[in-house]
Amino acid sequence: MKIVVAIIKPHKLDEVKAALEAFGVQGLTVSEASGYGRQRGHTEVYRGAEYTVDLVPKVRVEVLVDDADAADVVEVIVKSAQTGRIGDGKVWTVPVDDVVRVRTGEHGVDAL
Amino acid sequence: MKIVVAIIKPHKLDEVKAALEAFGVQGLTVSEASGYGRQRGHTEVYRGAEYTVDLVPKVRVEVLVDDADAADVVEVIVKSAQTGRIGDGKVWTVPVDDVVRVRTGEHGVDAL
Amino acid sequence: MKIVVAIIKPHKLDEVKAALEAFGVQGLTVSEASGYGRQRGHTEVYRGAEYTVDLVPKVRVEVLVDDADAADVVEVIVKSAQTGRIGDGKVWTVPVDDVVRVRTGEHGVDAL
Amino acid sequence: MVSTVAFLSFAAKPDTGDTAWVLASAALVLLMTPGLAFFYGGMVRGKNVLNMLMMNFITMGLVGVLWVIVGYTLAFGDGGALVGDLNHWKLNNTSGLSGTIPVLAFVMFQAMFAIITPALFTGSIADRIKFGPFLAIITVWSLLVYSPIAHWVWSPNGWLFKLGAEDFAGGTVVHANAGAAGLALAIVLGKRKGWPREPMRPHNLPFVLLGAGLLWFGWFGFNAGSALGAGRTAALAFTTTSTATSAAMLGWVLVEKIRDGHPTTLGAASGAVAGLVAITPACAFVTPFGSIFLGLLAGGVCALATGLKFRFGYDDALDVVGVHLVGGVLGALLIGFLGSKKAGGANGLLYGGGFTQLGKQAAAVGASVVYSFVATLVIALIVKAIFKGLRVSEEVEVEGLDINLHAETAYETLTGGSVRASVSAAAPKADAEVSA
Amino acid sequence: MVSTVAFLSFAAKPDTGDTAWVLASAALVLLMTPGLAFFYGGMVRGKNVLNMLMMNFITMGLVGVLWVIVGYTLAFGDGGALVGDLNHWKLNNTSGLSGTIPVLAFVMFQAMFAIITPALFTGSIADRIKFGPFLAIITVWSLLVYSPIAHWVWSPNGWLFKLGAEDFAGGTVVHANAGAAGLALAIVLGKRKGWPREPMRPHNLPFVLLGAGLLWFGWFGFNAGSALGAGRTAALAFTTTSTATSAAMLGWVLVEKIRDGHPTTLGAASGAVAGLVAITPACAFVTPFGSIFLGLLAGGVCALATGLKFRFGYDDALDVVGVHLVGGVLGALLIGFLGSKKAGGANGLLYGGGFTQLGKQAAAVGASVVYSFVATLVIALIVKAIFKGLRVSEEVEVEGLDINLHAETAYETLTGGSVRASVSAAAPKADAEVSA
Amino acid sequence: MVSTVAFLSFAAKPDTGDTAWVLASAALVLLMTPGLAFFYGGMVRGKNVLNMLMMNFITMGLVGVLWVIVGYTLAFGDGGALVGDLNHWKLNNTSGLSGTIPVLAFVMFQAMFAIITPALFTGSIADRIKFGPFLAIITVWSLLVYSPIAHWVWSPNGWLFKLGAEDFAGGTVVHANAGAAGLALAIVLGKRKGWPREPMRPHNLPFVLLGAGLLWFGWFGFNAGSALGAGRTAALAFTTTSTATSAAMLGWVLVEKIRDGHPTTLGAASGAVAGLVAITPACAFVTPFGSIFLGLLAGGVCALATGLKFRFGYDDALDVVGVHLVGGVLGALLIGFLGSKKAGGANGLLYGGGFTQLGKQAAAVGASVVYSFVATLVIALIVKAIFKGLRVSEEVEVEGLDINLHAETAYETLTGGSVRASVSAAAPKADAEVSA
Ligand SMILES: Nc1ncnc2c1ncn2[C@@H]1O[C@H](COP(=O)(O)OP(=O)(O)O)[C@@H](O)[C@H]1O
Ligand SMILES: Nc1ncnc2c1ncn2[C@@H]1O[C@H](COP(=O)(O)OP(=O)(O)O)[C@@H](O)[C@H]1O
Ligand SMILES: Nc1ncnc2c1ncn2[C@@H]1O[C@H](COP(=O)(O)OP(=O)(O)O)[C@@H](O)[C@H]1O
């Protein structure tokens, strides 16, 4: 089992979700995040005092997948999240020892 | 060392926390998340325009544990988070190379 | 490849970010979290009813790094996040199979 | 409210100053219901805030219409000792003057009282009532409980008016009444799932303070407007309202500081409201200096009274009993102590008036509270039987009333396109509807 | 607004009651624009809320100044049938009385109308207009569209006034006018990226309800203040305003319940506003009972009318057309049906008055809407040409107008030092500026 | 405020129109303090918003009581040139008329001024003061600084009144005074940890705009109510208030556009407040056209003045100095330039009046500012000594004042049962308390 983690631009979430669904992924978990990287942030001004905000809003997507699907899922995400502009994000894969479905107690691939 | 990650229903957090404490876990980290899966979302209507919201509020719990405890901690979480209804969530285990306690710089099991 | 995950005190984020930048890290991802541990929470009172809030605001930092840099990055974070008081947080390292940069599709170290 | 003799003089011209003040006051009292909506809305959990706002706003709709059709005439139609007749239904025969102001100005000023009274008890039923039964209860309650009690106390024909009970701006008619009804409803509805074990913290305290600010502002219309003119009485009512409110805030916060260790913003807001409630019946009958004591006492007593629900085990979610029932009764009774002829009322016990006025006050507020409690209980049980239950299901209670009853979410997260905003818009039915 | 004969009597003393009411009303109407800002601001996405608030507040600044310099005299200067002359520019010759009140009280009361009218159409252009062109449009529009139409309808010399068309408080001048302009601007601007496919949910519904509450409160000044005095007419206008608004809320929510299955808070707020819009022209011409029907109808019709944009494909973001154009026209026409001599207007169709008044109403509202639509279209196209486009870039639209146009973020997250707050303060330019 | 001769005529009847306007104005000014609470509350960080709201609300409680007991008589009791006597303590001898209105109406109108003045300087001490010392400072300050200065300027016996200095509604008494006190307190308190290096962005800008909207609305009572009647002077004050505020918003935003590149909502709100401050002393002494210049200047100058704190290194957190001290002084002095006999004041420099009035203005505002600054400094240092420090500990400052001083959190996250809501309710002490 693997967990694929993706940091993407917020407005790309719907497309990524749709692409993963089309691929056959049955579930995923999403959370809000902020990213720092090549993409520059923006400047805010309050009563003349300037602040540089260097964190950019991002969305974090986690997908548990069978080992065999990992590479494909990564590719599906990369394709659907791509705009070609700086700040599109990263996708990485981490090994998972085991997965359990809370509702049933099923383990492994059955838990997905 | 392992890190056990659980996606659970928000109102189950207190029970899970209590169960883990009872088991002997000394710390954990929690964050808000949204889940997509078998559990359907809900529909909202604004001035007649209908929106299907397919992400459901979830809570993400992370617990660093010694290798030996991993399986037990998973079971404690599964038991305390279970309602038996769709959407109860997932628990998975990921290998961890090392842990450090920021305050002291201690490594490994001492850092928990 | 490794991913270094750090749970730190919110007001230490700027220092950690600066230290990592100085070290040469080019990007990172941040999200809000709440921690439970030795550090006690606080008490709130609403119309005489007392509530004990045992979760403390924390920030979660994730940094993807080359295997060689992992230990150094951990140390940089520990040093810059340390106040010496309970609740300073944890830093851990997890193995990563692969990283892709969404914008270009580059893999591995090139993706950082 | 001074006597509301609907003396109709069609030819006479209204006093423009008095009319201006009563119209302004009516607008101020109207604003109190949105104020209340935020006072309460900030106190519930985020998943139920829209339901709380909705209950308050829909009361403005429902009672606003009911009042002009039949509520007004039941309250202020001549009738007998118990209820008004139908002489003014649909606002018939209201083109003349009432005292120095147009009757319609009086009708509207009173309309806002009729609206806010049932709105007050939405605080006790928070977080768990179905919307249909709520509407049914409000409708029946407004006609069978509010209008009669208003008639008893404020109509020259009402039996409590004739008794000589004093209720300048509605301590009995509005607050004690709403408080008693809130208690009855909380008992019939039962406790919220998890109460009092689980935490139910206010989700937005700034909203609570916004609501308190709007309530305080509007209450000047409520109390000083009840003089039905802009003269010395209005100025006195304005003064005691301000002073008692300030003092009650200090009283409540002081209790907190001593008991809990911290002065809280929720306490400051609650104390202000408690003071406003308690001075309401008394505002033109006590001196400014007397109103300081009244306020301090009201703040302190209500702060302690919010603990009653834990002791007796009824889930009065936002303390309608602790603030409105206790505060309203307290204010009504304190007239019997602090009332002063110099101010405009009968002398109370402390001003050498003996027990006479205190007795009248106790009789009036007692009768009103008992009637309100019993009648509300009966209404609630009948509505419960008709609707097969008053409460939402357990799942709905856990998941939140907003998405389930109103198909809405109060707050969208900032990062527009993300997380919660991840929705797919269906072809809006609105479209289909219109094209059909 | 009753006839605004600027009868100047320098020696006479104003009626203090009438003056008090008109000044209070002017303040109430001023508050409506912040109310509107929150009504609209809560409905847009979180990344654009500041831009929406800013458009409304800056209109208070811009039109507030324009009005006293030249807007007032173009609207209420004697002039001819089409526009006022410059006799009152810079508020010259305004030290006397207008009826029983100081001319300046009338000028200020009217100023608030001039401010809120263009503010109303910020709802249709939400989420996509550049700030410079917006300022240009507002400026020109206020002088070339608002002032003339106000003159037509409310000046004794205006051609629609002479025709005998009735518009007590601005159903035509304010609402139908703003609605038609909003439609024209929505068409020129084009659809928001992603509309109507992508979800654009209100980011803060409590703000929408706060705005609705403030609007309702302020609208009593708008409508009852238009009596320009505190007497029977004001009391009647106050009453019908209250009743129609309550009824319209019920009407809108009923349509939702039947069509969508749920009564919503957005619907309750929208219904109230629809009722306020529709009763505006009619408030002193119909009976309280008549106003219930007017309100119910307005609520129901406007609820359905918000679907028109999906059918016809114009992106009127926050339904300025569905609420203000449709509601304003409806109210204007309903005077032709429900108008009643007893109330103060000409008898309408249902009161035996035949088609005469209906015809006048149709002519007046028709002419105003057509002029407003066409003139706004022309103004928008010219401004577009001058500014090389009215819209922000696609990136700005996606990222949000707040950080891009105003260099600000609406909400900071709670955990102070973290995430969004992670900024490094540069040496503030303010400093440099001052030391220079 | 025109001369406040407390001419007591017990038999005479008040003018209802004047009384209606002053009561309405008093209510409007009361609302300004909650408005201010949100204006400031939105500007601080989320961890301190409740403390900011609390400081403002508790001032309504504390000064509201103090004023009727002794504050009023110190300000408006006959007394001498420096302070009033105790003739009216506990509001003794206030049952007659003051001019055409009940004395109590005047007392209440003034009460709201006494409340908001110390509330204004909560902006400079934000984020770091302990609650006990804050209460002590407010109490002493109200009696030793506010009441005397009000006496100097507004009592017919006051030395600045006799000098002929003009301050219609409190530019000197309220704004310059509060600004000077704010500066003194900011200096005694010292800088917030991290200031000005660390970012301290407003946590909720919509709240700032809500506050600005409520302030603007209430300020019509503040300024036009100071005419103490509803006639030409009130109408003029209303007009110049509106115009100057609009113009000042434009002035501030223009400076931002030129200096920083973007017009901001914080700037628009701040500009409006700056305009309101500056027109306050002058509102019945300048022409509407003159008020445009006054407003533009005030907006622009205050926008630049907010940079002073960075230059001189005092941490006036929310710019009480930049807006209220600078704006108040500016407005007072501009009377010496723009004052016009036609409007109602003495002719200023630009209207051929020479330097006379300017000199008086400078003397009055100068004396008040110096006294306020020095007296506040002394009070703050004494309170500091008594309470062993004015500031919260560093940990409290980092963690936030809300949870530490008030045991509350402003906002609960949406997902009810989760994260922050993860608390375990202890047996409420309230219960124990009651059962005891
Ligand atoms: N080393 C890293 N570790 C973790 N997250 C990273 C890292 N580098 C970048 N990211 C995440 O990826 C996002 C995009 O990275 P950025 O450098 O801005 O653009 P790009 O990936 O297109 O070169 C960042 O906002 C951040 O959330
Ligand atoms: N493949 C997956 N990867 C990551 N998270 C998942 C995955 N599948 C489900 N989840 C998470 O688990 C939650 C519950 O899953 P769901 O399919 O709704 O119910 P159940 O687990 O009871 O079958 C989801 O809301 C989501 O947060
Ligand atoms: N076993 C654990 N698993 C995951 N996170 C933990 C664990 N223990 C502690 N944490 C995180 O580390 C933070 C600090 O831990 P705490 O025990 O309070 O202090 P310290 O690390 O200084 O001993 C906690 O708030 C929590 O977020």
| pTM metric for this prediction | 0.96
Q: By alpha-carbon position, which residue is closest to atom 13 of ligand 1?
A: A89
Interface of F with B in 363-422 (CB under 8 A): 413-419, 422
- The answer on pLDDT for E216 being more than 60 is yes
Mean pLDDT for chain D?
A: 92
The strand pair at B90-95 and A98-101 is best described as: antiparallel
What pLDDT is recorded for position F12? 84
Query: What is the 3-class SS of C22-51, one letter each residue?
Result: HHCCCCEEEEEEEEECCCCCEEEEECCEEE
Tell me the pLDDT tens digit for each residue of D127-168. 999 999 999 999 999 999 999 999 999 999 999 999 999 999
Tell me the pLDDT tens digit for each residue of C58-73. 999 999 999 999 999 9
Tell me the pLDDT tens digit for each residue of F375-422. 999 999 999 999 999 999 999 999 999 999 999 999 985 333 223 333
* Cα within 13 Å of Cα(F244), Cβ side: 37
Q: How far, in Å, CA of E36 to CA of D169, rounded?
A: 32
Residue C100: enclosing H or E segment and its boundaries? strand C98-101
How far is the CA of F275 from the CAs of A49, E26, F235, in angstroms? 21, 19, 18
Nearest to F108 by CA among A31, D232, E390: D232
List CB contacts of E50: < 8 A, sequence separation 6 or more.
E401, E402, E406, E408, E409, E410, F205, F206, F265
What pLDDT is recorded for position D198? 85
List CB contacts of E11: < 8 A, sequence separation 6 or more.
none
Which of B9, B34, B38, B91 best tests ligand 2's pocket when mutated (most atoms within 8 Å of CB)?
Answer: B38
- The answer on pLDDT for E62 being more than 80 is yes
Q: Is B13 within 8 Å of F415 (Cβ atoms)?
A: no
Nearest to E320 by CA among E123, E59, E157, E166: E123
Say if ligand 2 is within 6 A of residue B59 CB.
Answer: no
Say if ligand 3 is within 6 A of residue B29 CB.
Answer: yes
Q: How far, in Å, CA of F1 to CA of F170, rounded?
A: 8
Q: How far, in Å, CA of E324 to CA of E305, rounded?
A: 10
Q: Is F251 within 8 Å of F298 (Cβ atoms)?
A: yes
What type of residue sits at position F145? V
| Least reliable range by pLDDT among B12-16, D21-25, D56-60 | B12-16
Atom of ligand 1 nearest to the CA of A56: 25
ipTM of the prediction: 0.96
CB contact under 8 A, B94 and A31: no
What pLDDT is recorded for position E11? 56
Calculate helix-pair angle for D49-66, D16-41, nearest 10 degrees.
150
What pLDDT is recorded for position F429? 45
Contacts of C81 in chain B (CB under 8 A): 102
Q: Is E53 within 8 Å of E37 (Cβ atoms)?
A: yes
Q: How far, in Å, CA of E251 to CA of E244, rounded?
A: 10
Say if ligand 3 is within 6 A of residue C37 CB.
Answer: yes
What pLDDT is recorded for position D423? 35
Sign of the CA dihedral running D306, D308, D311, D317: negative
Closest-CA distance, E57 to chain A, in angstroms, reads: 17
Mean pLDDT for chain F?
A: 92
Nearest to F149 by CA among F184, F113, F125: F113
**pLDDT (mean) for A22-46:** 93
Block residue for tokens 């020109």: E140
Tell me the pLDDT tens digit for each residue of D271-281. 999 999 999 99
Q: Is A52 within 8 Å of A41 (Cβ atoms)?
A: yes
Say if ligand 1 is within 6 A of residue A8 CB.
Answer: no
What pLDDT is recorded for position F11? 56
The SS3 call for residue F421 is helix
Q: How many residues are listed for chain C in this entry?
A: 112
**pLDDT (mean) for D264-270:** 98
Say if ligand 2 is within 6 A of residue B58 CB.
Answer: yes
Ranges of chain F whose pLDDT falls below 70: 1-11, 413-436
Q: Is D62 within 8 Å of E292 (Cβ atoms)?
A: no
CB contact under 8 A, B102 and C91: yes
What pLDDT is recorded for position E433? 38
- CA–centroid distance, A101 to ligand 2, in Å, is 8
Say if ligand 3 is within 6 A of residue B34 CB.
Answer: no
- The answer on pLDDT for E258 being more than 80 is yes
List CB contacts of D165: < 8 A, sequence separation 6 or more.
D153, D172, D360, D361, D363, D364, D365
The neighbouring-strand residues paired with D374 are: none
Contacts of E253 in chain D (CB under 8 A): 58, 61
What pLDDT is recorded for position D4? 42
Q: How confident is the model at residue D259 (pLDDT cuts 50, 70, 90)?
A: very high
Which of A5, A12, A36, A78 best tests ligand 1's pocket when mutated (most atoms within 8 Å of CB)?
Answer: A36
Q: Is D163 within 8 Å of D346 (Cβ atoms)?
A: no
Q: What percentage of chain D has pLDDT greater than the value 90? A: 89
Question: Which among D408, D409, D424 has the least Cβ separation from residue B52?
Answer: D424
Q: How far, in Å, CA of A33 to CA of E423, rounded?
A: 16
Calculate helix-pair angle for D265-279, D326-338, nearest 10 degrees.
50
List CB contacts of F305: < 8 A, sequence separation 6 or more.
E434, F319, F321, F322, F323, F326
Q: Dihedral through CA D239, CA D245, CA D246, CA D250, nearest 10?
A: 150
CB contact under 8 A, E430 and A49: yes
What type of residue sits at position E55? M
Contacts of B14 in chain F (CB under 8 A): 417, 422, 424
Q: How confident is the model at residue E413 (pLDDT cuts 50, 70, 90)?
A: low
Tell me the pLDDT tens digit for each residue of E368-406. 999 999 999 999 999 999 999 999 999 999 999 999 999
Kindly give the residue spans of alpha helices, DSSP state H, lying in D14-102: 16-41, 49-66, 72-76
Ranges of chain C whose pLDDT falls below 50: none
- A60 at interface of D, judged by CB pairs closer than 8 A: no
Tell me the pLDDT tens digit for each residue of F292-336. 999 999 999 999 999 999 999 999 999 999 999 999 999 999 999
Question: Which among D409, D423, D428 has the least Cβ separation from residue B52?
Answer: D423
Instruction: Count Cβ atoms within 10 A of the Cβ of residue C24 and give its class: 0-12 exposed, 13-18 middle, 19 or more buried.
Output: exposed
Q: How far, in Å, CA of D97 to CA of F365, rounded?
A: 50
Instruction: Count Cβ atoms within 10 A of the Cβ of residue A24 and give its class: 0-12 exposed, 13-18 middle, 19 or more buried.
Output: exposed
- Triad E135, E137, E139: Cα angle to 5°: 70
Q: Which two three-digit tokens encode residue F406?
A: 């008030």
- The answer on pLDDT for E333 being more than 60 is yes
Phi, psi of D287 (to 5 degrees): -85, 160
Q: How far, in Å, CA of E165 to CA of E339, rounded?
A: 12
What pLDDT is recorded for position F249? 98
List CB contacts of E176: < 8 A, sequence separation 6 or more.
E324, E325, E328, E329, E332, E365, E368, E369, E372
Contacts of B45 in chain E (CB under 8 A): 256, 260-262, 264
Contacts of B34 in chain A (CB under 8 A): 29-31
- Please tell me which residue of chain F has the smallest CA distance to E67: F243
Say if ligand 2 is within 6 A of residue A100 CB.
Answer: no
Which of D412, D418, D420 should one mutate to test binding to chain A, selecting the residue with the greatest count of A CBs within 10 A? D418
- CA–centroid distance, E281 to ligand 3, in Å, is 65
- The answer on pLDDT for E415 being more than 60 is no
The SS3 call for residue A32 is strand
- Please tell me which residue of chain B has the smallest CA distance to A94: B94
How far is the CA of E163 from the CAs of E77, E170, E199, E342, E365, in angstroms? 19, 16, 46, 21, 12
Closest-CA distance, D412 to chain A, in angstroms, reads: 13
- Triad E250, E251, E255: Cα angle to 5°: 115
Q: How far, in Å, CA of D10 to CA of D394, rounded?
A: 58
Phi, psi of E25 (to 5 degrees): -65, -40
- The answer on pLDDT for D424 being more than 50 is no
Sign of the CA dihedral running F93, F98, F101, F105: negative
- CA–centroid distance, C90 to ligand 3, in Å, is 6
How far is the CA of E288 from the CAs of D204, E237, E241, E363, in angstroms? 38, 9, 9, 26
Q: Determine the distance from the C-alpha atom of residue E170 to the mean position of all C-alpha atoms in its chain, rounded to a whole number.
A: 9
Contacts of C29 in chain A (CB under 8 A): 7, 33-36, 58, 60
Phi, psi of A82 (to 5 degrees): -75, 130
Residue-by-residue DSSP string for F328-352: HHHHHHHHHHH--TTTTS---GGGT
Tell me the pLDDT tens digit for each residue of C10-24. 889 999 999 999 999
Examine residue F34 and say whether the peptide bond preceding it is cis (omega within 30 degrees of 0).
no
Q: Is F15 within 8 Å of E16 (Cβ atoms)?
A: yes
Mean pLDDT for chain E?
A: 92
Phi, psi of D86 (to 5 degrees): -95, 20
CB contact under 8 A, F260 and A44: no
Q: How confident is the model at residue E424 (pLDDT cuts 50, 70, 90)?
A: very low
Tell me the pLDDT tens digit for each residue of D211-224. 999 999 999 999 99
Say if ligand 3 is within 6 A of residue C42 CB.
Answer: no
